[in-house]
Amino acid sequence: MDRESTLENGGVSRRTLLAGAATGLTVATSGCVRQVRSVVNRDTVDHLSVSIATVPADGDRESVQIANLLADNLETVGIDASVNLLAEEEFLRAILVNHDFDLYVGRHPGGTDPDFLYETLHSVYADEPGWQNPFGFTSMTFDDLLERQRVLEGDRRRDVIERIADSVAAEQPFVPVCVPDENRLVREDRFDDWDDHLATRLGYLGLEPLDGDGELRGIITDVRPTQNLNPLSVEYRNRGTIVNFVYDSLGTVAGDEVRPWLASSWEWNGSAATVTIRDDVQWHDGEPLTAADVRFTYRLLEDTSLGDSDVPAPSPRYRGQSSIVDSNAIEVHDERTLTIPMTGSQNVRERAFTVPILPKHVWTERTGGATVPGLPVEQATTTAVVAENVPPIGSGPFQFVDRTGRESILLERFDEHFSRADDELPEATVERFRVAVHPGSPSAIEAIESGSADVTISTLEAYSVDEVTESESVRLLESSSQMFYHVGFNVRNAPFSNPYFRRVVARLLDKERIVDELFGGHASPVATPLAGEWVPDDLEWDGDDPSVPFFGADGQLDESAARTAFEEAGFRYDDDGKLLARY
Amino acid sequence: MLAQLLAQVAAVVGVLLAISIGVFVGQSRLSTTRVEWRSRVRDAAPIAVVLVLVLLFNRTARETLPSLSWSIGWNLTSTFYEIEGQTVLLFQEYATPELTAYFSYVYVYGYVFVLIFPVVAYFALSDTRPLRELLTAYTLNYTLGLLCYVLVIAYGPRNWIPDLVETTMLYNQYPQYQELTGEVNHNTNVFPSLHTSLSATVAMFAYRTRDVYPKWVPVATLLAASVAVSTMYLAIHWAIDVTAGLCLGAISVVLSRRLVGRWSLSEEFDDWWPSLRRE
Q: Which residues of A touch B187 (CB under 8 A)?
A: 56, 58
A518: chain B residues, CB-CB within 8 Å: 163
Rounded to 10 deg, the angle between the A559-568 and A61-76 helix axes is: 70
B114 and B227 Cβ atoms separated by less than 8 Å:
yes
Does pLDDT of A247 surpass 80? yes
Q: What is the pLDDT of residues B163-203, one digit of tens each?
A: 888 777 777 777 777 777 766 677 888 899 999 999 999 99
Cross-strand bridge partners of residue A176:
A486
- Look at A452 and B1 and tell me if their CB atoms are within 8 Å: yes
User: Which pLDDT belongs to residue B128?
Assistant: 92
- The whole-number pLDDT of residue A11 equals 44
pLDDT category at A4 given cuts 50, 70, 90 is very low
pLDDT given at position B264: 55
Is B187 in CB contact (< 8 Å) with chain A?
A: yes
The residue of chain A with its CA nearest to that of B175 is: A443
Percent of chain B with pLDDT over 90: 63
Question: What is the distance between the alpha carbons of residues A423 and A49, in angstroms, rounded to a whole number?
Answer: 61
CATH code of the region A46-180+483-581: 3.40.190.10
**Which amino acid, A327?**
S
Out of A68, A83, A439, name the one closest to residue B178 (CB): A439
pLDDT in tens, B244-259: 999 999 999 999 999 9
A509-555 pLDDT tens trace: 999 999 999 999 999 999 999 988 899 999 999 889 999 999 998 87
Q: Which residues of B touch A463 (CB under 8 A)?
A: 162, 166
Residues above pLDDT 90, as percent of chain A: 76
Phi, psi of B2, rounded to the nearest 5 degrees: -65, -45
Backbone phi, psi, residue A238, to 5°: -95, -80
Distance from CA of B176 to the nearest CA of A (A): 6
CA-wise closest residue to B200 among B186, B184, B221, B216: B221
Q: How much is the average pLDDT of B86-115?
A: 91
Instruction: Strand A46-47: give its sheet, edge to edge.
Output: A46-47, A579-581, A572-573
Q: Does B155 touch chain A if contact means CB atoms closer than 8 Å?
A: yes
Q: Sorting pLDDT into bands at 50, 70 and 90, what band is A25?
A: low
> pLDDT-based confidence at A12, cuts 50/70/90?
very low
Give me chain B's average pLDDT, please: 88
Per-residue pLDDT band at B278 (split at 50, 70, 90): very low
Q: Which amino acid, A484?
A: F
Q: Which CATH class is domain A183-221+397-480?
A: alpha beta
CB A200 within 8 A of CB A253: yes
Contacts (Cβ under 8 Å, ≥6 apart) of A472: A188, A189
Measured between alpha carbons, how far is residue B60 from residues B3, B65, B189, B242 in Å?
19, 9, 15, 25
B176 contact residues in A (CB cutoff 8 A): 443, 446
- A439: nearest CB among B163, B179, B188: B179
Q: What pLDDT, in 10s, does the model give residues A181-207?
A: 999 999 999 999 998 999 999 999 999
Does B155 sit within 8 Å of A56, measured CB to CB?
A: yes
Q: What is the ipTM of this complex?
A: 0.85
Query: Average pLDDT of chain A?
Result: 90
Q: Compare A115 and A378 and report the one with higher pLDDT.
A: A115
pLDDT greater than 70 at residue A129: yes
- CA pair distance A360, A362, nearest whole angstrom: 5
Q: Is residue A3 scored above 50 in pLDDT? A: no
Closest partner CB to B182 (pick from A68, A87, A439): A439
- Give backbone dihedrals phi and psi of A496, rounded to 5 degrees, phi first: -75, -10
- Which range (A230-234, A271-275, B203-207, B270-274) has the least confidence? B270-274
Mean pLDDT over A354-372 rounds to 92
Residue A24: the pLDDT is 56
According to the model, what pLDDT value does residue A481 have?
87
Q: Which pLDDT tens digit goes with each residue over B110-159?
A: 999 999 999 999 999 999 999 999 999 999 999 999 999 999 999 999 89
How close, in Å, is residue B31 to chain A by CA atoms? Answer: 45
Query: What are the angstrom distances between the C-alpha of A495 and each of A100, A186, A274?
Result: 15, 47, 49
Q: Once rounded to an integer, what is the mean pLDDT over residues B190-219?
A: 95
> Which helix (DSSP H) or strand (DSSP E) does residue A267 occupy?
strand A263-269
What single-letter DSSP state applies at residue A97? Answer: I
Query: What's the pLDDT at B275?
Result: 46
Residues 6+ apart with CB under 8 A from A52: A67, A70, A71, A81, A82, A83, A84, A102, A103, A104, A105
Q: Which of A375, A227, A53 is nearest to B66 (CA)?
A: A227
Q: Do residues A460 and A62 make contact, with C-beta atoms less than 8 angstroms apart?
A: no
Using the Cβ of B185 and the Cβ atoms of chain A, whether some distance falls under 8 Å is answered with no
Say which residues have a Cβ less than 8 Å from residue B66's Cβ, sequence separation at least 6. Answer: A87, B186, B188
Looking at the complex, report in whole angstroms how far the Cα of residue B158 sits from the nearest Cα belonging to chain A: 7
Is B167 in the A-facing interface, judged by CB distances under 8 Å?
A: no
Instruction: Look at residue A19 in the predicted model and tell me its pLDDT.
Output: 54
Instruction: Return the pLDDT at A28.
Output: 56
Contact criterion met (CB < 8 Å) for B171 and A68: no
Domain ranges for chain B, please list them. 2-277
CATH architecture of A237-371+381-387: Alpha-Beta Complex (3.90)
Chain A contact for B31 (CB, 8 A cutoff): no
Domain boundaries, chain A: 2-40, 46-180+483-581, 183-221+397-480, 237-371+381-387
CA–CA dist A400, A394 (Å, integer): 9
**What is the Cα–Cα distance from A468 to A185, expressed in whole angstroms?**
8
Put simply, the answer to whether A65 touches B163 (Cβ < 8 Å) is yes
Contact between A315 and A130 (Cβ < 8 Å): yes
pLDDT in tens, A411-433: 999 999 999 999 899 999 999 99
From B60, B88, B58, B62, select the one nearest B159 (Cα to Cα): B88
Task: Tell me the average pLDDT across B2-18.
Answer: 91
Percentage of the residues of chain A whose pLDDT score is greater than 70: 94
Strands (E), chain B: 74-75, 152-153
| pLDDT exceeds 70 at position A51 | yes
Cα distance between residue B234 and residue B104, in whole Å? 7
